[in-house]
Structure 1
Amino acid sequence: MASTTSGQKASYITHPVQQFSWLTIEQGYSALARRLQQAIEGGMKVLLIDGFIGVRWQEFISCLRKELEKQTRKEICWHSTEACLRTTGEIRCMLEPFLTADPVFGRLFHGTLQELWQPEQLVALQHQVEQESDGITVVYGLGASLVTSQGFQVYIDVPKDRGQQLAAQGMLCNVGEKEPAPFAEMYKRFYFVDWPMLNRIKRAQLAKIDLFVDGSGHSAPTLVSGDAFRRILHELAQRPFRVKPWFAPGPWGGQWMKEQFGLPPEAPNYAWSFELIAPENGMLLGNAELAFECSFDYLLWAETDAVLGVPVAARYGSYFPIRFDYLDTMGGTNLSCQVHPRADYIRSEFGEPFTQDETYYIVTCEEDARVYLGLREDAPVEAFKASALAARDQRQPFEITDYVNSFPSKPHDLFLIPSGTVHCSGANNLVLEISATPYIFTFKIYDYLRSDLSGNMRHVHLDHAFANLDKTRTTSWVKDHLIPQPVLVREGPDWAEYCIGDIEQLFFAIHRLEFCSLIEDETNGKFVALNLVEGQQCEIRSQGNEPVELHFAESIIIPASIGHYTLRNTGKVPCKLVKAFVK
């Protein structure tokens, strides 16, 4: 198996920490209790402990209560917001239009947590808080900050990947549920209801929190002051940074990332790396001794213009519109044959603001690797649909090459995949997917009659798929428009910049920077996302910042605020970086 395109093993850092030498970080329930006691001594009588889905409230509060009652002599009354929730049945009825009968897709919920509360229970809780003026009151749970605006504000964040781990282990419930459900059902509700609903609270509280707590390690929470947290976000928006990637196995997954990145060997494979998928990534922030994690969302909310750039923010708000992720089929098998929705379809059916346009950049591959893209000109769509229906309903296999073009792939090829184009990666590719941020709206047409890692047949969405399949994306059009050749943009003695992907159907463009020693570049008022696709390592220099090192296969964001930056090769072989930006 190939190691990298230049023959070296990757020095990929799976847990990149953004360092702040001035930062004070505390850890443990005793430290948290001490900070709360200081607030009490400062005159605070109400403590509000809000948090995200993934906090194991019973354990967390039990540990905190034990420590806090050691440190204060005052009587403390504890109230959970769970008492405000409507019944599970009522909540399910309210959410039914958003969760739908589809096993994978729903519609984005634009409501609030208060809508899931019983108004009379909220009023009763607020009355209790007002009546307990002589002692100390702690209100905790989802939405605690909504009960009263007066009090010491604590927010417990839990990274989305950690929440998913807990859900898969049956240790977590969706909002308003009493028991865990199968993971796929829980994830669907996370995506369409819980995450967006609770994110609105997180965003509103960002400017108000007195204490930020990383709750990913429930045995030892990590905390920083709210002022320090906001200062970190401001400083981070002025320098290049990496988010924390995370990795997941899949039925078609390969072995390249496991071997090259030193990932835990017990997983059967790793299919995906969430390199830069803003809705799900976290950031690791620390000093020389400790680090904590927060969601990437916080930086985008706090420093929208500095990170994205004013022109991008004007179009997308605080939404980070580009994603990077790896699809590893090295030693694995083909992805499902699939298509993504048109822009109007994803808005009307699912409530998403824009659609899932994609590209495949081939980082490395074996000699037999292929990419499947666009319809064959001699293949009728009606026959394709009939074969897909027979596979779904009668388990009759067929060859996707009867209907879909097959192209050989080699390192540094780029395949463009605007929505509506049938496609998939074949076996033995390491694909860097450079795409629009939406990432779950994959309409599978054919999945080779295989099961997922739990032994269940993978669901196909033929009605959605054939409603979105663009019949004009056939062989000749694909060759002319979706498999571009590099076009030189500028060059110097030992460097060059090429445009490798820019068509009207995509809102972003992809360039490649190639250099032996160094190359200068500009953000031009918009963020830039980079990945070192060949070479060992380079460093990124920008005014007012320490050099930032980037290793082979790592992704990094250059905020719009940076302006001019320099890439300097610190390895022994030439470097190639892909650069994605909003046009």
Structure 2
Amino acid sequence: MVPNDSRSPASSYVKQPTIPLLPGARVFQGSKAWAEVHAVAAARAAGEFPVIVVDTYPGVDVPALRSVLVDALPEYAIVDVEDEAALPIERVDALIEQNLTDDRVFGVMSHARIDEFYSPQKLELVARRLERRTAPTILLGWGAALAAPERHALVLVDMSRWEIQLRMRAGAPNWRSHNADEDVLRKYKRGFFVEWRVADRHKRNLFEEIDFVVDGNANGSAAGMITGDAFRKALEAATTGPLRVVPFFDPGVWGGQWMKEKLNLDPSKQNYAWCFDCVPEENSLLLEADDGLVEVPAMDLVLMRPKELLGEKTFARFGAEFPIRFDFLDTMGGGNLSLQVHPLTGYIQDVFGMHYTQDESYYLLEASEDAVVYLGLKTGVDPDAMMSDLRAATTDTARPFPAEKYVNMIPAKKHDHFAIPAGTVHCSGSNSMVLEISATPFIFTFKLWDWGRVGLDGVPRPVHLEHGEKNIQWDRDTEWVERNLLDQVQQIARTPGVVEERTGLHELEFIEVRRHWFVDEASHDTEGTVNVLNLVEGDEVEVVSPTGAFAPYVVHYAETFIVPAAVGPYIIRRSAQARSERFATVKAYVRGTRNSDD
């Protein structure tokens, strides 16, 4: 069976995939939502003044939320726990100084817990005030639950990291910081290395106690609310069948036009460079009922149901982290990505506190005739000469770095798959549409050369030659690349109408990738570990259970979807609406975690 080399048609790509709430679940909004919270709290208070705790994720606009609460529950006194008991921001800064470092992009992963950001004595004073309360009371803010172990209702206002980033770009500061005008990369760094790590540890301890969940991605009274039971049951049910996270798209200096055309994006935008199509740390889930939607971080599913989602072996290896990332890199009609290298495992552990590194690969969804991938170094390269030229290019705009002198330029065509283990110099060239299949630590890119460009903000994008030089594997030359990273397709099985291939990542990488070409259907089995797939050929398929365990799930061209470990056997088949002659999926999973690997 040979691939279909025709140009890809426009996709019916769904940009707002949803997960159903269970029957009977409701989405509350506005004053009715908070009336529901009051009713629960009042019933439990049994004649006492009720106490409602509204704990928030850092990034939630607490003053705006307070205004909503004042309007909805005017009889309640509101205590801002952050104002009352949080440490002064200068003391917080001192606590996390080593995590933030002086670098614009990279910090060190924090293992702090939220109570370290609060004064125990002041939390105790808040608790004593509660004991003497003379009115119904709301405790509000990130960490509000610390001040009220005895409460009558617990509300979590949650939000995704992507929404936080958008607000940062619009001028939002970090938690309690006075840095609204600070470089966005530095604000993001504070969130990534400190705030979001601490916040995830905190809310994970609250999940089983939450009475209500509020969509913090929405604004004001428009934010939807569901009960804690509806939230927990929806995420439990989500692990029983295929699902998609909500993708997001972003422009870039090298961005292209393919996604705009094929995925029906806003044609007025200059370009789209990235799509995070499956990065649960950043993406959201849309929970849907007849009366509305609630958006929650996809990480909530990872944190709440890790064994069912990831599988016991993958969970044992990575903890409650989603280790596989699928994203798009669009340079069709755009420019080259930055020339870059990713850290070796020992380096990322020692320097940044991450326990696994950013191995990756490029799968070509589309490529023009002139498309190339820069991959590995040319045989005989002198490291000192290359680093000297890189430093000169960084400091002297009149001396561009001669990448073609030092780096292999490999012709790239549709359905090629290039493995890129950490330590390998690489980048995608222009006029390519890349599905990047990678390990999840996605910010650890050491740019070596950025073709003399500045970012969309007009500021030169950061280059990290010091980090890069310490991680470049100089022996990954032309011959090594040809032996290890090119033409690695291996046929695994052939049955009538189906060919299974190992497109392979390098043995140094922990991700296994299988491609299935089929005419009508192909059988799969998670074998106890999470599967991440993308429909890379064909217009539309559906994922079905051979036992009817879940409803048929429709997938369109270029959509990434997750099949949780708990699903077991599943079939991908052409849908009744499909018009394509053949189909192909690529499937990624963690090596050594399948039941058959025992």
Superposition TM-score tier, normalisation by shorter sequence:
over 0.9
Provide the rounded CA distance (Å) in 2 between the counterparts of 1:475 and 1:326: 26
Give unpaired runs (5+ residues) of structure 1.
Answer: none
Cα deviation 1:502-534 (Å, max 9, x = unaligned): 432011111101101111111111111110011
Deviations along 1:103-151, whole A, 9 cap, x unmatched?
Answer: 110001111222222333222212211221x431210001111112111
1:384 is matched with which residue? Answer: 386
Shift of 1:289: 4.0
Q: Is the 8 A contact 2:500 2:517 kept in 1?
A: yes
Q: Which amino acid aligns with 1:76?
A: A
Q: 1:265 to 1:85 in 2, by over 3 A?
A: farther
CA–CA separation in structure 1 for the residues paired with 2:132 and 2:304: 36
Report matched runs for 1:169-208 at 5 Å: 169-170=170-171, 172-180=172-180, 181-208=182-209
The answer on whether the counterparts of 2:26 and 2:290 sit within 8 Å (CA) in structure 1 is: no
Q: 1:552 aligns with which of 543, 557, 560?
A: 557
Spell out, residue by residue over 1:272-328, the C-alpha distance to the aligned partner (whole angstroms, 9 max, x if none): 101111211111111244211111111112211111111111111111111000000
Among the aligned pairs, what percent are the same residue? 36
TM-score where L is the length of structure 2 = 0.94
Per the alignment, do residues 77 and 103 of structure 1 end up closer, same or farther by CA in structure 2, a change over 3 Å counting? closer
The superposition leaves residues 363-398 of structure 1 with CA deviations (integer Å, 9 ceiling, x where unpaired) of 001111000000100321111100100011222212
1:30 to partner: Cα distance: 0.7
Amino acid at match of 1:572: R
Cα drift, residue 82 of structure 1: 2.8
Residue 343 of structure 1 corresponds to: 345
- State whether residues 357 and 419 of structure 1, in contact with CA within 8 Å, keep that contact through their aligned partners in structure 2: yes
Match of residue 543 from structure 2: 540
| 1:356 CA drift (Å) | 0.3
Counterpart position of 2:274: 272
Structure 1 counterpart of 2:483: 480
CA distance in 1, matches of 2:211, 2:76: 22
Matches of 1:351 and 1:383, distance apart in 2: 31
Q: Secondary structure at the match of 2:410?
A: strand
For 1:137, the equivalent position in structure 2 comes to 137
Give 1:60-99 correspondences, 5 Å limit.
60-69=65-74, 76-99=77-100
- Taking the TM superposition and a 5 Å limit, the aligned residue runs for 1:464-479 are 464-479=467-482
Return the match for 2:584 from 576, 579, 582: 576
* CA displacement, residues 57-99 of structure 1 (integer Å, 9 cap, x when unaligned): 1111112211112xxxx55343332332222222222221110
Q: Cα RMSD (Å) of the superposition? A: 1.5
Where does residue 375 of structure 1 map in the other structure?
Answer: 377
Taking structure 1 as the reference length, what is the TM-score of the superposition? 0.96
Aligned residues: 575
Q: Counterpart in 2 of 1:254?
A: 256
Give the CA deviation at 1:399.
1.9
State how far apart, in whole Å, the 2-side matches of 1:391 and 1:558 are. 45
Match of 1:566 in 2: 571
In structure 2, the CA distance between the partners of 1:75 and 1:402, relative to structure 1 (3 Å rule), is closer
The correspondence of residues 319-468 of structure 1 with structure 2, limited to 5 A, is 319-395=321-397, 396-468=399-471
Which digits, 9 at most, give the CA deviation of each residue in 1:391-415, with x for residues without a partner?
A: 1122221221110000000000010
Q: Is the CA contact 1:212–1:226 (under 8 Å) kept in the aligned structure 2?
A: yes
Q: Is the contact made by 1:32 and 1:64 (CA closer than 8 Å) also made in structure 2? A: no
Q: How does 1:165-244 map to 2 (within 5 A)?
A: 165-170=166-171, 172-180=172-180, 181-219=182-220, 220-244=222-246
CA–CA distance in structure 2, aligned partners of residues 79 and 469 of structure 1: 49
Change (3 A) 1:289 1:366: farther
State yes or no: 1:498 paired with 2:505: no
Question: In structure 1, what is the equivalent of residue 595 of structure 2?
Answer: none
Change in CA separation of 1:77 and 1:572 when aligned onto 2, cut-off 3 Å: closer
C-alpha contact 1:155 1:209 (8 A) present in aligned 2: yes
Structure 2, unaligned runs of 5 or more: 592-598
SS at 1:544 equivalent: coil
